Amino acid sequence: MKKLMVLMITLVMTLSLAACGGGNAETPESTPESTPAATQRKDNVTPEQATAIVDIMAKMAPLYNEAAEAASKNGWEQDETAVQELNTIYAIMDSARVGLEELDGFGDTSTEEIDTIVEQYQIMLDEMPNLVAKFSEPYIN
């Protein structure tokens, strides 16, 4: 369980760094609206990677909903760690959605790093049934 939490936090931090990306503080000579690149997605996400992310998130969403519902039903909202786990999973799912929807959603993350992110998403998906099972049990202090 601790490994899953560390993995999720690592993913959030990785995506946060990718989203924040280094920018320069100088005033640009052209506005983003007038730059042709603003209308094109960076090619750091391959179509295969995008498809994999969409597939994983499509499978993860119902499992997340099931886990959140079970946690609420069985009193897990009293456990701060459980709430953090669910919030982290939600944040990661939202980051994946934004990453695919925004033109520059994954920032300067390289294609190879996105491969790693896809692998981490798959690991999270594989762990979701365990989380659902955990939250399906009544919470005991």
Tens-digit pLDDT profile for residues 87-115:
999 999 999 998 888 877 888 888 999 99
Of the given ranges (22-31, 89-98, 106-115, 123-132), which has the lowest mean pLDDT?
Answer: 22-31
At 132, list the tokens.
Answer: 């659902």
Return d(Cα 37, Cα 69) in angstroms, integer: 42
Give the closest residue to 105 by CA, choosing from 11, 18, 8.
18
134 Cβ contact partners less than 8 Å away, ≥ 6 residues apart: 1
Domain range summary for the chain, segments of one domain joined by +: 46-141
pTM, whole model, 2 decimals? Answer: 0.69
pLDDT digits (tens, 9 = 90+) for 65-91: 999 999 999 999 999 999 999 999 999
Whole-angstrom distance, CA of residue 121 vs CA of residue 123: 5
